[in-house]
Amino acid sequence: MRPIDPSLVAPEAALPIRPGPPGTHITIRGLNKYFAGKPLYQNFDLDIPKGKIVSVFGPNGCGKSTLINMIAGLIPIDSGSILFDGKSRAQTKVGYVFQNYREALFPWQRTIDNIAYPLKLEGQSSAQVARRVAELVASFDVKFDLHRYPYELSGGQQQTASIMRALAPGPEVLFLDEPFSALDFEMTLFIREKLQEVFLQTATTMVLVSHDLEEAVYLADRVLLLTKRPTRVAEILSYDDPRPRTTDTLSAPSFIRTKAESLAIFQREVRR
């Protein structure tokens, strides 16, 4: 088939949506969301880059969870458009890691069956499922017994399993809503590093909500700072220190600068 000559196509037909800059994965245009008659997002635009980790940070109740839930298709938008490489949500495979791992895993299934669940749902054969689970076990370096039920595992182990389940089908985008907030410090550090390792292996686009600014910056390629509601983008900061980032990163001047800049923007928005 011959390519269409762009000069023959009306601009609005050729470009129904203003595209993001090169490397954009998710384009959000004219998004509106109201709760109880009050605007949360009004005519909201955002570009999320592909193969990067975007940390979402902002005041309490500004709509961080609602934003990722709308993008992930867990809650409806009132109007506007959200596209993934030009595709709809229905045509896109996504993974989601919930804050509350206790409610996320099915208690009646062994942990390994929880992880395998989305693969079985896709109709994969037992052999394919076993192969994929083995890959995940290797990449997460799992040391605990996956044949136990979730309630027999520690919080960190359960959240590890939740992340494995979310990644099992190879999602294009992984959403994480405060995935560390119910974990103790040691587990937080452990899973943070696992997440970074997986990102280095797979370059999966990740959108991470975090209420811990240090963590948000540490993991991020971009820090998305939101205002109070009605919510707008306050600023998007780039943070480009090489990976893997380590504890040394925390004292790198670029890290300290990005964190201070994020904090200043956050405080400006909270006081506004």
Ligand X SMILES: Nc1ncnc2c1ncn2[C@@H]1O[C@H](COP(=O)(O)OP(=O)(O)OP(=O)(O)O)[C@@H](O)[C@H]1O
210 near Mg ion (CB under 5 A): no
For residues 62 and 187, which CB has a smaller minimum distance to Mg ion in the complex?
Answer: 62
Spatial distance between the Cα atoms of 61 and 253, rounded to a whole number of angstroms: 31
Q: Residue 26 binds which one of ligand X, Mg ion, none, with CB within 5 to 8 A depending on kind?
A: none
3-state secondary structure of 208: strand
Q: How far is the CB of 65 from Mg ion (least distance, A)?
A: 3
Helices 126-140 and 185-202 pack at an angle, to 10 degrees, of 120
64 near ligand X (CB under 6 A): yes
Q: Interface with Mg ion by CB under 5 A: which range of 41-49, 58-66, 158-166, 245-253?
A: 58-66
Q: In Å, what is the CA distance from 98 to each residue of 50, 72, 144, 164, 186? A: 22, 12, 21, 12, 19
Q: Residue 61 binds which one of Mg ion, ligand X, none, with CB within 5 to 8 A depending on kind?
A: ligand X
Q: How far is the CB of 26 from ligand X (least distance, A)?
A: 17
Cβ-Cβ contacts under 8 Å for 19 (sequence gap 6 or more): 27
Spatial distance between the Cα atoms of 35 and 33, rounded to a whole number of angstroms: 7
For residues 98 and 140, which CB has a smaller minimum distance to ligand X in the complex?
Answer: 98
Site string for ligand X, 136-165 (x = CB under 6 A): ------------------------------
Q: How far is CA 190 from the centre of its chain?
A: 18
92 near ligand X (CB under 6 A): no
Spatial distance between the Cα atoms of 256 and 68, rounded to a whole number of angstroms: 27
Q: How far is the CB of 62 from Mg ion (least distance, A)?
A: 9
For residues 83 and 220, which CB has a smaller minimum distance to Mg ion in the complex?
Answer: 220
Spatial distance between the Cα atoms of 131 and 137, rounded to a whole number of angstroms: 10
Q: How far is the CB of 113 from ligand X (least distance, A)?
A: 30
60 near ligand X (CB under 6 A): yes
36 near ligand X (CB under 6 A): yes
3-state secondary structure 143-176: CCCCCCCHHHCCHHHHHHHHHHHHHCCCCCEEEE
Q: Among 27, 55, 66, 160, which residue sits at the site for ligand X (rule: CB under 6 A)?
A: 66
65 near ligand X (CB under 6 A): yes
Interface residues for ligand X in 110-139 (CB under 6 A)? Answer: none
Region of residue 23 (left: phi > 0; alpha: psi -120 to 50; beta: else): left
Q: In Å, what is the CA distance from 138 to each residue of 69, 134, 135, 175, 197? A: 30, 6, 5, 22, 12
34 near ligand X (CB under 6 A): no
Q: Among 35, 43, 106, 246, which residue sits at the site for ligand X (rule: CB under 6 A)?
A: 35
Spatial distance between the Cα atoms of 266 and 86, rounded to a whole number of angstroms: 32
For residues 112 and 219, which CB has a smaller minimum distance to Mg ion in the complex?
Answer: 219
Under DSSP, the state recorded for 89 is G
37 near ligand X (CB under 6 A): no
Residues forming contacts to ligand X in the complex (CB under 6 A) are 35-36, 40, 60-66
Residues forming contacts to Mg ion in the complex (CB under 5 A) are 64-65
